[in-house]
Structure 1
Amino acid sequence: MIFILNKTNTIANSFLAEMRDVNIQQDKQRFRHNQEKLGEILAYEISKTFKYTPEEIQTPLGICNINLPGAAPVLGTILRAGLPFHQGFMNYFDQSESAFITACRKVKRSGDFTIRIDHISTPNLDGKTFILCDTMLATGQSIVDVCKELMATYKIANLHIAAVIASTVGIAHVQANLPKAKIWVCAVDEEMTSKSYIVPGLGDAGDLAFGDKA
């Protein structure tokens, strides 16, 4: 399944518009905060898919019956661009453990590239719900490679992929290689450049959030 947030008009459009705007996005704090707010919104939407059990809560005046979710999901992100987006999920799933992955593109002279995963730091994911948060889902290659690496070690019960902006090509790649994953994005763009940047997209999310790489 795939959920696209901006198919319904909400205040989230304003946060996404500011992230895309070439003038507003130069304010790094605002750019990071908009990612965080969109992470919170998608966390809320994903929470609708969880299993809930009825609980009795003692108030000062009586008993309140309410349905509460079970175990918190594990949240993961690929350093560094996804950190503010990941923080938005942590704000809502505040009892969650987190996984952090370092991965980078190794570009060949032809312009083609492979993904090199340098390090994974994760809690045990066996039987857990895992949400991988990454700002941009461009080719989908890094997300697929990371998930397959984790799935080779752990039996993940429920896999969710969350992104701010995705390309149609990236979504197709994830669906083909991770057919059981649920995909959650704020917007989908149709095109990519020859260097696999999403168009219209928003540019390099990592540089905009944390500064240009040397």
Structure 2
Amino acid sequence: MHIHDLSQQNSILNTFISEMRDVTIQKDSMRFRRNIERTGEVLAYEMSKSLNYKASEIETPLASSTMDLLENDIVLCSILRAGVPLHNGLLNYFDKAENAFISAYRHHKENPEHFEIIVEYLACPDLQNKTLILADPMLATGQSMIATYEALKPFGTPKEVHLVSVIGAQEGVDYVSKSFNENTHLWIGTIDEQLNDKSYIIPGLGDAGDLAFGKKLQQ
């Protein structure tokens, strides 16, 4: 798998991620959502450099102009609920993309340190021979990414797959690297060193869904 870790080069993205991590600034849920959205925009821009383009003739009021325009047929799929702001950021740049949404959450049994990924809601267009962008802001264990991709298989085989995350743990990055083929691309804002005993990214930023939309009742 091709890994594009944007933290390897300094950019304004550092500011967005630092504000999402900051325990004081992240209390502003609107700013938290906007920073995830802005990170999605940066990741979309960087990803766009790797996609396919075709020469097209454009008529201006004065003359014609030839420009290379994006020709990928994109389907953007985000994991609810934390993925919504990231989805919006990507869609701001890939505004002609088709859209898919899936709910995937951790279901804890007797031991709170162990869980399985439950997929329930899924809405998806045809994926056959298209460019699939699978977005989840937090790449912790990588299990949600894998469960989501497995759930999408009945909708067709994409021509190419791009994974997008804001923050990941090295363990999760390694896991998806082994599970996806070598032509898959991962676009990520930064990679942290480890997970804690509850499989949260350290230092990470906490629960992205709760910070964006408020705390949920545990079942």
Q: TM-score range, shorter-chain basis?
A: over 0.9
Q: In structure 1, how many angstroms separate the alpha carbons of the residues matched to 2:79 and 2:116? A: 15
In structure 2, what is the equivalent of residue 206 of structure 1? 209
Q: 1:187 aligns with which of 182, 187, 190?
A: 190
| Offset, 1:149 | 2.1
RMSD over equivalenced CA pairs, Å: 1.0
Q: In structure 2, how many angstroms separate the alpha carbons of the residues matched to 1:119 and 1:75? A: 16
Q: In structure 1, how many angstroms separate the alpha carbons of the residues matched to 2:23 and 2:163? A: 27
In structure 2, what is the equivalent of residue 160 of structure 1? 162
| Offset, 1:107 | 1.3
**Map 1:123-162 → 2, pairs under 5 A:** 123-162=125-164
In structure 2, what is the equivalent of residue 178 of structure 1? 180
| Offset, 1:187 | 0.3
Q: Structure 1-normalised TM-score?
A: 0.97
Matched, 1:18 2:19: yes
Contact 1:72–1:93 (8 Å) recurs in 2: no
Structure 1 stretches of 5 or more lacking a match? none
In structure 2, what is the equivalent of residue 27 of structure 1? 28
In structure 1, what is the equivalent of residue 50 of structure 2? 49
AA partner of residue 33 (structure 1): R
| Offset, 1:181 | 2.0
**Map 1:116-127 → 2, pairs under 5 A:** 116-127=118-129
| Offset, 1:152 | 4.5
- 1:64-83 CA distance string (max 9 Å, x none): 11101114411011100010
AA partner of residue 21 (structure 1): D
Q: Structure 2-normalised TM-score?
A: 0.95
In structure 1, what is the equivalent of residue 5 of structure 2? 4
Contact 2:142–2:172 (8 Å) recurs in 1: yes
- 1:40-61 CA distance string (max 9 Å, x none): 0111111111111111111112
Q: In structure 2, how many angstroms separate the alpha carbons of the residues matched to 1:175 and 1:71? A: 23
Contact 1:136–1:165 (8 Å) recurs in 2: yes
In structure 2, what is the equivalent of residue 82 of structure 1? 83
- 1:152-188 CA distance string (max 9 Å, x none): 4411111010000000000111011112321010000
How many equivalent pairs are there? 214
| Offset, 1:95 | 1.0
Q: In structure 2, how many angstroms separate the alpha carbons of the residues matched to 1:72 and 1:88? A: 18
Contact 2:51–2:72 (8 Å) recurs in 1: no
Q: In structure 1, how many angstroms separate the alpha carbons of the residues matched to 2:168 and 2:196? A: 13
Q: Which runs of 4+ in 1 moved over 6 A?
A: none
In structure 2, what is the equivalent of residue 112 of structure 1? 114
